C-alpha cells in the first residue's frame, strides 16, 4: 500500500512538471527484459524493434529465458529489470506461493492466446463418445463432457489421464482446470503437503515447458496440454494432436500475461517505469491497429519480427495463423478468431484489480492458498500487485504527446471490470464478491 501511495505522488509530480512531452528524468537507461518464446511477448519485442523504447531514451536488451521459474528468479536477483510474466506470477510471488518476492505490474500485455490440445488418440475417443464431433468442422466451444468417459475408463484400469500445463501458477493451469471441472472432472487439489496438485485428481496435470509440449505429447507421456501459441498450431502442423478449445471459449477475453518488475525496482526507478510503460502502450496500440475494414495493419510485420530466431523463432507461417486472426483446430477446421490475441483493444492493457482477484480465487479454489481468507484480503493483495497509477501516468504523457486518443484509456475506472458470466459454464464472476464466486463452483475449495 505504501508503495502505491508513493508512486501516486511520484506520478503526479512527473505529470505536472512535464507538460511539453519531453523525456522523463530516467533513473536508469540501460535495461534488460526477459521473455519466454511465446507470441504474447510481442509488446516488449515490438517496443524494442520499432524504437519505442529508444524514443523514451531507453536502451533495452530483450533476452529469451529458458523457463518461467528462471525468468522470475532473474527478475528477483536483479539480473533482469523486468519481464514478460504469467498473470499469476506476480500475485503468487507476492503472497509467497513458490518463490517469495514482492513483484508488481503496471501493464497487462495481452488477453486470450492459449489453447487446449489433445492427442489424436484421445480426440478419436472423444469423437466416439460424441458423434457430433466426428466431422471436419465440429461446433465450438467443445467442452470436456466427451472426455469424462475416457477419464473414468482410465480410472477403472487403475490409471489416471496425464495432461500438461506450463507452470503451477500459470493461466494455463487455471484454464485447463476450469475446463475439466466444468465437465465434472476433478483435476486435483494442492494442499499444504501436496505441492504438485494431485490430491483427489482424476486427471493429473504436470508441468512441461511450452516448447517441449508437442514432443512430450508425441512421446505419449501426456495425452493433452494447455499452452500458448505457437505450440497448439505446431501440433496441427505436425499432425500430432488436435486443439479442442481455446481459452477465449473458456473465458472470453481473459487476462493472460503481464509485464512484471520487482517492487524494489519500481520504487527505485519510478520515472523509468513510467517510460517503459509508455513504450509498451505504444507497442500494444501498434499491434492492435486496424484499417477501416477491421483488418490488422501491422500484424504481418509483427509476425516477421517475432519469427526472428532471437525472439519467438518459430516459422513465419506457423506464428502467422493465430497472430493475424485465424486459428486452425484441425487442418480442415480453420476459424476466424480476430480476438485470439488482444493487445490493446477493450482497455485490455490496463492493470485491472479484478484480473488479480480472479487469479486469487483460482489459487484458493485449487488449494494453492491453503486457508480461507476474508474478501478484503483479495482486494488488498490485488492492490499491492497492480499499479494502475503508473499506467495512468504513462498514458497521460502519451495523450499529451498525441500518441493515443482519449478513449483508449479507462481514465476514471476504479480498477474493477463489471461482473461477467462469459465463461464456458456460464457462472457469474463478480470481482466485488470473491468468496461468493468461489462458492459457486461445484468442484473446488469453498469458504
Partner 1 sequence: MAESTKDKIKYKILKALDVSGFTAFDPVIRLAFGEEPQKQVTAIVKYLLIPAAFVLLCFWFWSWIGPRHKTKSGEVPTPDVVWESVQINDTIAEREAVKKSDFLLEGDERKEALEEVRVEYEALDARANALKAAVAEKEKEKAEREATLVAPLDAELDKLKTETRAAGKARDAEIAAISERVAAGEVEATVLIEAIRQDGIATDDERAKQNELKSQIDEIRSHKYKPLELARKEYDSVADKLFFLKTRLEFLDDRNLSVKLAESEAELADYMAELGSATSAKEALKIAKRAVKAEEGIERLQGQSYASAVTIYHQAKRSVFTVFVGFFMAAAVAIPVGIMCGLNKIFMACMTPIISVFKPVSPVVWLLIFQIVVGAFFPDPENNALLNFVNSIPLISSLGINPALVFSACTVAMCAVWPALVNTALGVASIDQDHVNVARVLRLGFWSRLFKIVIPSSLPLVFAGLRISLGVGWMVLIAAEALSSSDGLGKFVWDEYQNGSSLTFANIIMVCFVVGIIGFFLDRMMIILQRFVSFDGGGTSV
Antiparallel, parallel or unpaired: β 203-207 and 161-165: parallel
Helix (H) or strand (E) holding 364: helix 353-365
> Do residues 41 and 35 lie in contact, with contact meaning Cβ atoms separated by under 8 Å?
yes
Closest CA to 282 of 406, 394, 410, 390: 394
Does residue 312 interact with partner 1 by CB under 8 A? yes
**Residue 203 or 318: which CB sits closer to partner 1?**
318
Stretch that binds partner 1, among 169-177, 304-312, 342-350, 430-438 (CB under 8 A): 304-312
Does residue 170 interact with partner 1 by CB under 8 A? no
Does residue 309 interact with partner 1 by CB under 8 A? yes
Closest CA to 41 of 258, 254, 208: 258
Of 70, 99, 186, 440, the residue at the interface with partner 1 (CB under 8 A) is: 70
Query: Least separation, in Å, of the C-beta of 441 and partner 1?
Result: 35
> How far is 324 from 41, CA to CA, in rounded Å?
15
Query: Least separation, in Å, of the C-beta of 401 and partner 1?
Result: 15
Closest CA to 348 of 433, 429, 417, 248: 417
Backbone angles phi, psi at 162, to 5 degrees: -105, 130
**Residue 317 or 421: which CB sits closer to partner 1?**
317
CB-neighbour burial class of residue 29 (10 A; exposed 0-12, middle 13-18, buried 19+):
middle
**Residue whose cell numbers read 483435476:** 187
**Residue 2 or 20: which CB sits closer to partner 1?**
20
**Residue 58 or 393: which CB sits closer to partner 1?**
58
Question: Which positions from 5 to 44 touch partner 1 by CB under 8 A, shown as an x/- string?
Answer: ---------------x-xx-x---x-------x-------
Does residue 208 interact with partner 1 by CB under 8 A? no
Enumerate residues 397-416 that contact partner 1 by CB under 8 A: none
The 8-class DSSP code of residue 211 comes to G
> Do residues 24 and 275 lie in contact, with contact meaning Cβ atoms separated by under 8 Å?
yes
Query: Least separation, in Å, of the C-beta of 294 and partner 1?
Result: 21
Stretch that binds partner 1, among 92-100, 269-277, 315-323, 409-417 (CB under 8 A): 315-323
> How far is 391 from 409, CA to CA, in rounded Å?
9
Question: Which positions from 71 to 90 touch partner 1 by CB under 8 A, shown as an x/- string?
Answer: ------xxx-----------
Of 316, 335, 372, 380, the residue at the interface with partner 1 (CB under 8 A) is: 316
Query: Least separation, in Å, of the C-beta of 184 and partner 1?
Result: 27
Cell numbers standing for residue 51: 524504437
Does residue 446 interact with partner 1 by CB under 8 A? no
> How far is 216 from 84, CA to CA, in rounded Å?
24
**Residue 199 or 216: which CB sits closer to partner 1?**
216
Does residue 124 interact with partner 1 by CB under 8 A? yes
> How far is 393 from 182, CA to CA, in rounded Å?
40
Does residue 122 interact with partner 1 by CB under 8 A? no
Of 41, 46, 65, 115, the residue at the interface with partner 1 (CB under 8 A) is: 65
Helix (H) or strand (E) holding 357: helix 353-365
CB-neighbour burial class of residue 42 (10 A; exposed 0-12, middle 13-18, buried 19+):
buried
**Residue 204 or 301: which CB sits closer to partner 1?**
301
> How far is 354 from 360, CA to CA, in rounded Å?
10
Does residue 214 interact with partner 1 by CB under 8 A? yes
Query: Least separation, in Å, of the C-beta of 211 and partner 1?
Result: 4
Strand ranges, E, within 138-207: 161-165, 203-207
Does residue 184 interact with partner 1 by CB under 8 A? no
Query: Least separation, in Å, of the C-beta of 240 and partner 1?
Result: 5
Does residue 183 interact with partner 1 by CB under 8 A? no
**Residue whose cell numbers read 466485488:** 432
Compute, in degrees rounded to 10, the torsion defined by CA atoms 96, 98, 100, 104. Answer: -80
Task: Give contact residues for partner 1 (rule: CB under 8 A).
Answer: 20, 22-23, 25, 29, 37, 48-49, 51, 54, 57, 59-61, 64-66, 70, 77-79, 124, 134, 209, 211, 214-215, 218, 230-231, 234, 238-240, 301, 304-305, 307-310, 312-318, 331-332
Amino acid at each position: 500500500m505504501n508503495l502505491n501511495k508513493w508512486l501516486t505522488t511520484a506520478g503526479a509530480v512527473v505529470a505536472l512538471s512535464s507538460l511539453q512531452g519531453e523525456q522523463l528524468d530516467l533513473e536508469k537507461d540501460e535495461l534488460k527484459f526477459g521473455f519466454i518464446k511465446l507470441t504474447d511477448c510481442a509488446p516488449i519485442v515490438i517496443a524494442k524493434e520499432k524504437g519505442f523504447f529508444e524514443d523514451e531514451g531507453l536502451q533495452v536488451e530483450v533476452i529469451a529465458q529458458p523457463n518461467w521459474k528462471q525468468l522470475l528468479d532473474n527478475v528477483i536477483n536483479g539480473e533482469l529489470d523486468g519481464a514478460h510474466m504469467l498473470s499469476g506470477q506476480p500475485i503468487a510471488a507476492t503472497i509467497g506461493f513458490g518463490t517469495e518476492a514482492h513483484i508488481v505490474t503496471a501493464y497487462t500485455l495481452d488477453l486470450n492466446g492459449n489453447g487446449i490440445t489433445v492427442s489424436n488418440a484421445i480426440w478419436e475417443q472423444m469423437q466416439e463418445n460424441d458423434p457430433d464431433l466426428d466431422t471436419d468442422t465440429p461446433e465450438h466451444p467443445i467442452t470436456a463432457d466427451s472426455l469424462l468417459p475416457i477419464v473414468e475408463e482410465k480410472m477403472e484400469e487403475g490409471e489416471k489421464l496425464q495432461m500438461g500445463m506450463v507452470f503451477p501458477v500459470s493461466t494455463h493451469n487455471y484454464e485447463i482446470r476450469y475446463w475439466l471441472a466444468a465437465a465434472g472432472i476433478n483435476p486435483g487439489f494442492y494442499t499444504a503437503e501436496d505441492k504438485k496438485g494431485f490430491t483427489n485428481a482424476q486427471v493429473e496435470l504436470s508441468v512441461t515447458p511450452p516448447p517441449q509440449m508437442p514432443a512430450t505429447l508425441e512421446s505419449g507421456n501426456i495425452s493433452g496440454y494447455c499452452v500458448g501459441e505457437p505450440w497448439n498450431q505446431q501440433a496441427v502442423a505436425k499432425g500430432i494432436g488436435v486443439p479442442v478449445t481455446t481459452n477465449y471459449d473458456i473465458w472470453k477475453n481473459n487476462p493472460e500475461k503481464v509485464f512484471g518488475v520487482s517492487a524494489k525496482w519500481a520504487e527505485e526507478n519510478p520515472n523509468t517505469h513510467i517510460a517503459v510503460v509508455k513504450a509498451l502502450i505504444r507497442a500494444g496500440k501498434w499491434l492492435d491497429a486496424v484499417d477501416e475494414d477491421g483488418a490488422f495493419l501491422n500484424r504481418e510485420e509483427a509476425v516477421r519480427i517475432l519469427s526472428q530466431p532471437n525472439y519467438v523463432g518459430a516459422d513465419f507461417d506457423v506464428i502467422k495463423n493465430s497472430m493475424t486472426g485465424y486459428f486452425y483446430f484441425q487442418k480442415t477446421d480453420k476459424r476466424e478468431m480476430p480476438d485470439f490475441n488482444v493487445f490493446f483493444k477493450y482497455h485490455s492493457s490496463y492493470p485491472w484489480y479484478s484480473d488479480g482477484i480472479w487469479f486469487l480465487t483460482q489459487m484458493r479454489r485449487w488449494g494453492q492458498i491453503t486457508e480461507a481468507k476474508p474478501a478484503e484480503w483479495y482486494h488488498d493483495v490485488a492492490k499491492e500487485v497492480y499499479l494502475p497509477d503508473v499506467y495512468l501516468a504513462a498514458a497521460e504523457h502519451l495523450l499529451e504527446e498525441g500518441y493515443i486518443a482519449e478513449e483508449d484509456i479507462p481514465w476514471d475506472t476504479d480498477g474493477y471490470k463489471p461482473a461477467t458470466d462469459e465463461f464456458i459454464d456460464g457462472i457469474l464472476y463478480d470481482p466485488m464478491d470473491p468468496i461468493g464466486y468461489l462458492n459457486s463452483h461445484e468442484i473446488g475449495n469453498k469458504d
